[in-house]
Amino acid sequence: MSQAQEPITISIRAKAGQRDLIDQAADRLGRSRSEFMLEAACRQAEDVLLDQTYFSLDANGFAAFQAMLDAPPAPTDRLRRTLKASVPWESN
């Protein structure tokens, strides 16, 4: 980002259907179109940059990293609630 952190204008062209879809989603979240689009674009930009980030580990570091990935999560109340929660695609 620029150091001044002053707002700038970003203009894009969209089809009416795309605009309507964005407006509907933004409305559901209680955000303006601009807020919704900027948040979505920044999230996607971060994902792209993180996916392109390279890091290397020595054998010991990689083994420790793999062990963390393979270890089951510690049981917590939040995890238990999440696992017991009903999912919207399975109706009762």
**pLDDT of 19 strictly over 90:** yes
Give the pLDDT mean for 26-44.
97
The CA distance from 31 to 40, in Å, is 12
Q: Which residue has the higher pLDDT, 4 or 76?
A: 76
Q: Please state the pTM of the whole predicted model.
A: 0.55
Q: Name the DSSP class of 90.
A: S
Q: 38, 49 in Cβ contact below 8 A? A: no
**pLDDT of 54 strictly over 60:** yes
Tell me how crowded residue 31 is: count the other CB atoms within 10 A of its CB: 15
How many separate helices (H) and strands (E) can be counted in the chain? 4, 0
**Quick one: pLDDT at residue 88?**
83
Q: Name the DSSP class of 88.
A: T
**pLDDT of 90 strictly over 70:** yes
